[in-house]
Structure 1
């Protein structure tokens, strides 16, 4: 069995010879087939299984560039159909391909992440535009970041820097991913810490629940 570790926001490329349309909603079968045959990546979604690495089928999704309401396509695929897998794009790589108006802001963010020992990755519209060559970004688009910060002291420094971010373009959205595997929206986590709120809504690869803010950077038990 393929036990490749797949996490939310990871990218996978599927074998174009498989018929993914069988595992998409009836109204989206042709769309799913066309997407995979073009060699575009899919994004790993939150899994229903207790342990994502043991699931034989993986829940995946992608968005179509259909503004103003983006169409989200969901499907499942066998692990054996995965030809390639990667973590989300690094901020350092994505900013070279970002709109000119975003360059200065992304450079400042990159400096903040380097100073706080944070690995910054990009998902959402910018990632989709880079990986497919299609138009996803517009004037209202946010920069979606997955920020991997495992040190509690550095995490507070990172959140303070994000809250003090001086540039309006791009607007920063996204999640803080702790070493525990839990992720929380950075704005909600920053507000909880600032206001002394005890809990914050967090997501793992398989679950969503409230966790204590002071446990956010602590490892959580993984079933044997």
Structure 2
């Protein structure tokens, strides 16, 4: 793991590494679901670094399900304590964990772009088997810019599907420089957009992001 892990990557911690995390955060170790997280084979997600994070460690997040307070826990690990990493799951793989009312929307999204990935409540329910989804859950998605031959039609198709969806469609178009919330990219080429990358948040224009570089 010489290269930085991409934001939204799902990683698994070694037992020893997770024990070290619990020793650093004794208040978290008192919650059984957190203390046993790595032992149960459940993943963590790579997040943007915060000012309080220790340099040289990988910043990670662990969102608990609503039944455990829906708390978002921030921890960090040494790269040596990460035993596996993978992109967030494909929407096609996670679809079985979705409510029946979501299935028609998911089918439309997959026809639009089979490579689409998901994070958030649906991904966590699929990956852990724990009940993350509720009636108010969003469907959080990642569309790869490289897979979209024409960004304009992709965005208009997403907007069309979103208008008919029973849930809110959230998420980002992801390119070489990071991810931009898809609704921000529906403006004009000169509009400024926020790009969320591994190192933090930068700004550029819609045209520059869609061209694959930061202005």
TM range (shorter): 0.7 to 0.9
User: Which of 150, 173, 176 is the matching residue for 1:176?
Assistant: 173
Structure 2 gaps of 5+ residues are none
Question: Does the Cα contact within 8 Å between 2:44 and 2:60 map onto a contact in 1?
Answer: yes
Task: List structure 1 runs of 4+ shifted beyond 3 angstroms.
Answer: 29-32, 218-221
Q: Please give the residue correspondences for 1:31-70 in structure 2 after superposition, counting only pairs within 5 Å.
A: 31=31, 32-47=34-49, 56-66=56-66, 70=70
Aligned-residue RMSD, C-alpha: 2.4
Q: Number of paired residues? A: 206
Deviations 1:175-218 (A, max 9, x none): 1101x23211111221x23xx65211111111202211111033
CA 1:33–1:146: 2 relative to 1, 3 Å: same
Residue 16 in structure 1 maps to residue 29 in structure 2: no
Distance 1:97 1:214 in 2: 36
Q: Secondary structure at the match of 2:36?
A: helix
2:103 aligned partner: 103
Q: Confirm whether residue 86 of structure 1 aligns to residue 82 of structure 2.
A: no
SS at match of 1:156: helix
Q: Displacement, 1:169?
A: 2.0
Contact 1:152 1:217 in 2 (8 A): no
Question: Could you tell me whether the CA contact under 8 Å between 2:136 and 2:167 is conserved in 1?
Answer: no
Match of 1:159 in 2: 155
Contact 2:190 2:207 in 1 (8 A): no
Q: Distance in 1 between matches of 2:84 and 2:68?
A: 31
Q: 1:87-134 deviations in whole A, cap 9, x for unaligned?
A: 0001111113322221111000111114xxxx3100000011111111
Q: Deviations over 1:17-49 (max 9, x none)?
A: 33121344x532444432222221000011369
Give the alignment's TM-score, normalised by structure 1: 0.82
Aligned counterparts of 1:33 and 1:68: Cα–Cα separation in 2: 13
Find the counterpart in structure 1 of residue 198 from structure 2. 205
Q: Select the residue among 136, 139, 142 that pairs with 1:143.
A: 139
SS in 2 for 1:175: strand
Report if aligned partners of 1:21, 1:29 keep a CA contact under 8 Å in 2. yes
Matching residue of 1:52: none
- TM-score w.r.t. length of structure 2: 0.86
Report if aligned partners of 2:177, 2:195 keep a CA contact under 8 Å in 1: no
Instruction: Give the match for residue 5 of structure 2.
Output: 6
Distance 1:110-1:152 versus aligned 2 partners, 3 A rule: closer
How many angstroms apart in 2 are the aligned matches of 1:188 and 1:43?
A: 24
Structure 1 gaps, min length 5:
50-54
